[in-house]
Structure 1
Amino acid sequence: MTAQPSPTLTPLDRLWLTEAVRLREEHAGLLDDDEANRRTRAEGGEAQQLIEHRALWLARRDGLVEALQHWRQGARLAALALVLFALFSGAGLAWAALGDGSRPVNVFWALGSLLGLNLLMLLGWLLGLIFAGDSGGALGRLWLWLSEKLARDARAVQLAPALLTVLQQRRLGRWLLGLGVHGLWSLAMFSALLTLLALLATRRYGFVWETTILGESAFVGLTQALGALPALLGFSVPDIEQIRASGILATDLDGARQNWAGWLVGVVLIYGLLPRLLLALFCQWRWRRGRAALRLDLQLPAYRLLLERLQPASERLGIQDAAPAQLHAAQSGVGLQGGEGAVLVGIELEPNLNWPPPLPDGIADAGVVDDREQRRRLLEQLTLTPAQRLLIACDPRRSPDRGTLALIGELSRCAAATQVWLLPAPAGETLDANRLQDWQQALDSLGLAHSGNAPLAWLESGHE
Structure 2
Amino acid sequence: MEDPVTAPTPLDKRWLTEAVRLREEHAGPLEDQEANRRARQQGGDLAARIEARALWLAERDGMAEALRHWKQGARLALLALMIAAVLSGAGLGLAALGDGQRPVNVFWALGSLLGLNLLLLVGWALGFFFAGEQGAALGRVWLWLSERLARDAQAAQLAPALLVLLQRQRLNRWLLGLLVHGLWLLAMLAALGMLLALLATRRYGFVWETTLLAADPFITLTQALGALPSLLGFAVPDEAMIRASGASLPALDIARQAWASWLLGVVLVYGLLPRLALAALCLWRWRQGRERLTLDLSLPGYAQLREALMPRSERIGVQDAAPDSLPHFAAGQLESASTGALLVGLELDELRPWPPALPHGITNAGVLDSRESRNKLLEQLSRFPPARLAVACDPRRSPDRGSLALLAELARNAGATRIWLLQAEPGQAIDAARLGDWHEALDRLGLPHADTSPLTWLEHGHD
TM-score (norm 1): 0.87
In structure 1, the residue matched to 2:247 is 248
The answer to whether the Cα contact below 8 Å between 1:178 and 1:283 also exists between their aligned partners in 2 is yes
1:286-319: per-residue Cα shift (whole Å, max 9, x none)?
Answer: 1112112111111111111111222112455x48
Evaluate the alpha carbon distance shift between residue 329 and residue 420 of structure 1 in structure 2; reply closer, same or farther with a 3 A threshold.
closer
Structure 1 residue 370 displacement after superposition: 3.3
Q: Which amino acid aligns with 1:83?
A: M
The answer to whether the Cα contact below 8 Å between 2:96 and 2:110 also exists between their aligned partners in 1 is yes
The answer to whether the Cα contact below 8 Å between 1:40 and 1:310 also exists between their aligned partners in 2 is yes
Evaluate the alpha carbon distance shift between residue 334 and residue 422 of structure 1 in structure 2; reply closer, same or farther with a 3 A threshold.
farther
Distance in 2 (CA, whole Å) between partners of 1:210 and 1:462 is 99
Distance in 2 (CA, whole Å) between partners of 1:219 and 1:118 is 22
Map of 1:302-317 to 2, 5 A cutoff? 302-315=301-314
Map of 1:48-197 to 2, 5 A cutoff? 48-197=47-196
Higher deviation after alignment, 347-356 or 228-237: 347-356
Q: Which amino acid aligns with 1:308?
A: E
Distance in 1 (CA, whole Å) between partners of 2:29 and 2:389 is 31
1:49-99: per-residue Cα shift (whole Å, max 9, x none)?
Answer: 121111111112112222222222222222222222222222221111111
1:267-300: per-residue Cα shift (whole Å, max 9, x none)?
Answer: 0000000000000011011111211211111111
- Determine helix, strand or coil for the equivalent of 2:420: strand
Distance in 2 (CA, whole Å) between partners of 1:447 and 1:161 is 40
Q: Which amino acid aligns with 1:306?
A: L
Higher deviation after alignment, 33-42 or 163-172: 33-42
Evaluate the alpha carbon distance shift between residue 88 and residue 363 of structure 1 in structure 2; reply closer, same or farther with a 3 A threshold.
farther
Distance in 1 (CA, whole Å) between partners of 2:339 and 2:68 is 38
1:247-271: per-residue Cα shift (whole Å, max 9, x none)?
Answer: 2344322221111111100100000
Structure 1 residue 238 displacement after superposition: 1.0
- Determine helix, strand or coil for the equivalent of 1:366: strand
Distance in 2 (CA, whole Å) between partners of 1:3 and 1:306 is 23
Structure 1 residue 21 displacement after superposition: 0.5
Evaluate the alpha carbon distance shift between residue 302 and residue 3 of structure 1 in structure 2; reply closer, same or farther with a 3 A threshold.
closer
- Determine helix, strand or coil for the equivalent of 2:306: helix
Map of 1:236-385 to 2, 5 A cutoff? 236-315=235-314, 318=316, 331-333=330-332, 343-357=342-356, 364-385=363-384
Evaluate the alpha carbon distance shift between residue 398 and residue 240 of structure 1 in structure 2; reply closer, same or farther with a 3 A threshold.
same
1:132-158: per-residue Cα shift (whole Å, max 9, x none)?
Answer: 324334332222222222222221221
Q: Which amino acid aligns with 1:212?
A: T
Distance in 1 (CA, whole Å) between partners of 2:303 and 2:441 is 38
Higher deviation after alignment, 363-372 or 114-123: 363-372
Distance in 2 (CA, whole Å) between partners of 1:178 and 1:203 is 37
Structure 1 residue 4 displacement after superposition: 5.5
TM-score (norm 2): 0.87
1:178-200: per-residue Cα shift (whole Å, max 9, x none)?
Answer: 11211111111112112211211
Structure 1 residue 460 displacement after superposition: 7.7
- Determine helix, strand or coil for the equivalent of 2:236: coil
Gaps of 5+ in 2: 321-326
In structure 1, the residue matched to 2:324 is none
Q: Which amino acid aligns with 1:91?
A: A
Evaluate the alpha carbon distance shift between residue 110 and residue 415 of structure 1 in structure 2; reply closer, same or farther with a 3 A threshold.
farther
The answer to whether the Cα contact below 8 Å between 2:86 and 2:187 also exists between their aligned partners in 1 is yes
Evaluate the alpha carbon distance shift between residue 376 and residue 336 of structure 1 in structure 2; reply closer, same or farther with a 3 A threshold.
farther
Distance in 2 (CA, whole Å) between partners of 1:270 and 1:446 is 64
Q: Which amino acid aligns with 1:100?
A: D
Structure 1 residue 171 displacement after superposition: 0.1
The answer to whether the Cα contact below 8 Å between 1:334 and 1:374 also exists between their aligned partners in 2 is no
- Determine helix, strand or coil for the equivalent of 2:246: coil
Structure 1 residue 420 displacement after superposition: 3.7
Structure 1 residue 242 displacement after superposition: 1.1
The answer to whether the Cα contact below 8 Å between 2:329 and 2:364 also exists between their aligned partners in 1 is no
Structure 1 residue 19 displacement after superposition: 0.3
Q: Which amino acid aligns with 1:196?
A: L
In structure 1, the residue matched to 2:9 is 10
Q: Does 1:27 align with 2:26?
A: yes
- Determine helix, strand or coil for the equivalent of 1:247: helix
Q: Which amino acid aligns with 1:287?
A: W
The answer to whether the Cα contact below 8 Å between 2:391 and 2:420 also exists between their aligned partners in 1 is yes
Q: Does 1:213 align with 2:212?
A: yes
Evaluate the alpha carbon distance shift between residue 157 and residue 338 of structure 1 in structure 2; reply closer, same or farther with a 3 A threshold.
farther
Evaluate the alpha carbon distance shift between residue 68 and residue 385 of structure 1 in structure 2; reply closer, same or farther with a 3 A threshold.
farther
Distance in 2 (CA, whole Å) between partners of 1:179 and 1:337 is 61
Distance in 2 (CA, whole Å) between partners of 1:94 and 1:265 is 11
The answer to whether the Cα contact below 8 Å between 1:338 and 1:381 also exists between their aligned partners in 2 is no
The answer to whether the Cα contact below 8 Å between 2:207 and 2:249 also exists between their aligned partners in 1 is no
Evaluate the alpha carbon distance shift between residue 407 and residue 205 of structure 1 in structure 2; reply closer, same or farther with a 3 A threshold.
same
Q: Report the aligned-residue RMSD.
A: 3.3
1:93-130: per-residue Cα shift (whole Å, max 9, x none)?
Answer: 11111112111111111111111121122122223323
Q: Which amino acid aligns with 1:138?
A: A
Structure 1 residue 172 displacement after superposition: 0.2
1:366-421: per-residue Cα shift (whole Å, max 9, x none)?
Answer: 33223444322210122224456543222244465665455335324434665543
- Determine helix, strand or coil for the equivalent of 1:431: coil
Distance in 2 (CA, whole Å) between partners of 1:458 and 1:273 is 75
Evaluate the alpha carbon distance shift between residue 183 and residue 215 of structure 1 in structure 2; reply closer, same or farther with a 3 A threshold.
same
Number of residue equivalences: 457
The answer to whether the Cα contact below 8 Å between 2:329 and 2:335 also exists between their aligned partners in 1 is no
The answer to whether the Cα contact below 8 Å between 1:104 and 1:206 also exists between their aligned partners in 2 is yes
Distance in 2 (CA, whole Å) between partners of 1:341 and 1:101 is 90
The answer to whether the Cα contact below 8 Å between 1:336 and 1:365 also exists between their aligned partners in 2 is no
